[in-house]
Structure 1
Amino acid sequence: MADGAFVFGISEFTTQPWSFDEDVAHYAAGGVDAIEVVEAKLDDARLADQMASIAAAGLTISGVQPRVRTFFSSRMMPDPPALQDRVAALRGTIERLAKYAPGVPFITNTGAHPKGDMADAMRVVAQELGELGRVAADHGVLLALEPLNPTSVNVESAIWTIGQALDVIADSGSDAVGLCLDYWNIWQNDDVEGAIARAGDRIFTVQASDWRRPRSFADRIVPGDGSIPLAALLAATRRTGYDRPYVVEIFSIDVDDSLYATDLDAVIARSRAGLAQAWAAAA
C-alpha cells in the first residue's frame, strides 16, 4: 500500500445484478483494485478462464465468499441443513478455488444455531475452524470469521462482537484462522476501536458500507452516506498495521430504493469517493 493511498476492493455482492464477467469488466474500467469473489457467480464449466480473467483485467483477489459459508443454517443459506454437509461444502470450496487465490481469506460466519445456543455454536465453530484451518494452510489460503450485526442474531449468526469472534479464533488453535472485520456489522460494539486494536494482525480482510436504520435484512448504503464513523474505524484499523484491501460490500434487497436498481458504476464511484474521504480524515 502506497503512502496516502488504500487498496480499493468491491465485493461482487455489491453488484449482485451483474454476472461475474460483467463484474470483472466494470471493476477494471472503474479503477477498482481488488475483487471479492462470490463463488455463487462462478460458472463451473468456465472456472479456470474466469479466474484467469481477474489478473488479466489488472485486478487482485481480496477474498472469496464461499457458496456455503456458514456452519449452521441461516436465512440466506438454509441448505444443506446438516452441519457436516456444510463443512464438506466449505472444504470443497477451499480445495477448488485456493490455487487461483493464494494467500487470500475465505470468508465464513457461524450461521444461526437451531436452538439459539450461542455457547454451543462457538464451541462447534471453533472446532470445525481448527480442522478447516489445517486444510486452508495446506492449500496456502486463510479463513476469516465474520461476526455479524445484532440484527442478524439467531437469523444469520450466533456472534455479533469482535471479542466473541476473537474467542472463537483463539479456540480454533489455527494461525490460518482470523477475522473478517465488516464495519457495518461491528460499528456499534462497545469500545470498538479497542476491540480492533486487540484483533491486531488477526484481521485478514476489511469490509465497508454505511448504515441507516435498516428497512430489511439487507439494507446497506454507500460509504459516507450514513451513520458509521468510518474515519475513526479506518484509523483504528490502520494502527494495527493492516495492509490488505478495503472492500465495499453492500446488500440492498427488499427496499424501495434498492441500490441494485440504480447505476452500479455510479455506486462504485461513490463508494470509492466516500472511502477516500474517510481515509483522508483518518490520516
Structure 2
Amino acid sequence: MTSLPFTFGISEFTTMPWSFDEDIERYAHLGVDAIEVVEAKLDDMRFADQMQSISTAGLAISGVQPRVRTFFDSRMMPDPKPLDERVACLRQSIERLGRYAPGVPFITNTGAHPKGDMAEAMRVVSRELKELAKVAVDHGVTLALEPLNPTSVNVESAIWTVDQALDVIEATGSDAVGLCLDYWNIWQNDDLAAAIARAGDRIFTVQASDWRTPRSFADRIVPGDGAIPLADLIATTRATGYAKPWVVEIFSNDVADSLYEDDLEMVIKRCRDGMAAAWGESA
C-alpha cells in the first residue's frame, strides 16, 4: 500500500463493532499508522498484553480515550455522578495505561454542568486539569481537552469553541495540558483560523470526519463525503507546525445508513483516501 506523507490514525470509536484485538489485527494491514485507544474496548484481565500488542503490530498510539473522560457527567457516560469519583477514574486510567503510551495525550472534555453553569464548569475543569496534569507528568503522558459541537452543549460539554478550550487550558498553567482539535466539533466556529493559530503547539491531537446535518447524536461520515472544508482546516493546522497523527474518529449510531453496519475495512480505506485527498489539496 502506498505510504502517505502524514501519519494516518484511526480511533477505535470508528470501528466500534470490532473488538480491540480485531482493531490491532486489521488496522496495520489497512494502511493505518496510529491507533487512538478506547479504554472501554480493553479487557481488564489482559489489558497489559493488549497495549503491548500495539507496537508489535507496528502501530503508534495517537491518544487514549479514558473510560470516564469528562469531569461532569454526560449522556455518553452518566456515572459516576460525583466530581471526585470521576476525577479518580481519570487518574486511574492514566496510572494503569500511561506506562504503555509514553508522551501520548489522554483526551478529556468538560461534561455537562448539572445546572447549565458553563462559567463554573470552566473554572472547575481548569482547577481539576491543573491537578490531574501533575499525575500525567508523573506517568509521562499529557492531557488534551476537547471542545465539542454545539449539538452537545449541556448534554456532553460546557464548551464548544477552540477559544473556550484554550481559556481553560491556559488557566491550568501547565504545559502538559493541550487541545484535542476535532474538526467535526469546531468547523463552524467563528474566527476559526485565528483560534487554531492561537493554539499553536498546544494542539496535542487532531481528529477528523465529515459533516451532514445530524440524524442522531452520533452521525458522522467519511472525510471528504460532507460539508467540512477539510483541506483548509488541515492547511491552517499544518501552519502551526503540527506534525502528530491525523486521526479519523467516526460515531455512527441510530441512523438507517450507519457506517457501523457497513464493511468496516472499506470504511477505513475510504477514510484513508479521503484524508489523503484533503492533505493533497492543503499543500
TM over 0.5, yes or no? yes
- CA deviations 1:176-199 (Å, max 9, x no partner) are 000000000000000111110110
Give the match for residue 160 of structure 1.
Answer: 160
* 2: CA distance, partners of 1:143 / 1:163: 17
* 2: CA distance, partners of 1:6 / 1:118: 37
Contact 2:62 2:245 in 1 (8 A): yes
The answer to whether the aligner puts 1:136 opposite 2:136 as a matched pair is yes
Give the match for residue 42 of structure 1.
Answer: 42
Give the match for residue 272 of structure 2.
Answer: 272
Aligned ranges 1:1-283 → 2 under 5 Å: 5-283=5-283
- The residue type equivalent to 2:190 in the other structure is D
Match of 1:144, SS?
strand
- CA deviations 1:151-203 (Å, max 9, x no partner) are 00000000000000000001111110000000000000001111101100000
Contact 2:4 2:276 in 1 (8 A): no
Shift of 1:49: 1.0
* 2: CA distance, partners of 1:174 / 1:195: 19
Match of 1:143, SS?
strand
- The residue type equivalent to 1:130 in the other structure is K
Match of 1:35, SS?
strand
| TM-score, normalisation: structure 1 | 0.98
Shift of 1:208: 0.1
Match of 2:14, SS?
coil
* 1: CA distance, partners of 2:106 / 2:197: 22
* 1: CA distance, partners of 2:4 / 2:224: 19
* 2: CA distance, partners of 1:68 / 1:172: 20
| TM-score, normalisation: structure 2 | 0.98
* 1: CA distance, partners of 2:92 / 2:58: 27
* 2: CA distance, partners of 1:49 / 1:243: 29
Shift of 1:92: 0.4
Shift of 1:4: 7.3
RMSD: 0.9
Match of 2:212, SS?
coil
- The residue type equivalent to 2:214 in the other structure is P
Percent identity over the alignment? Answer: 77
- The residue type equivalent to 1:21 in the other structure is D
- The residue type equivalent to 2:217 in the other structure is F
- CA deviations 1:229-283 (Å, max 9, x no partner) are 0000000000000010000000000100000000000000000100100000000
Q: What stretches of structure 1 move > 6 A for 4+ residues in a row? A: none
- CA deviations 1:117-156 (Å, max 9, x no partner) are 0000000000000000111011110000000000000000
Deviates more, 1:46-55 or 1:182-191: 46-55
- CA deviations 1:28-69 (Å, max 9, x no partner) are 110100000000000111112101110110000000000000
Aligned length: 281
Match of 1:87, SS?
helix
Contact 2:9 2:248 in 1 (8 A): yes
Q: Which runs of 5+ in 2 are unaligned?
A: none
* 2: CA distance, partners of 1:108 / 1:165: 11
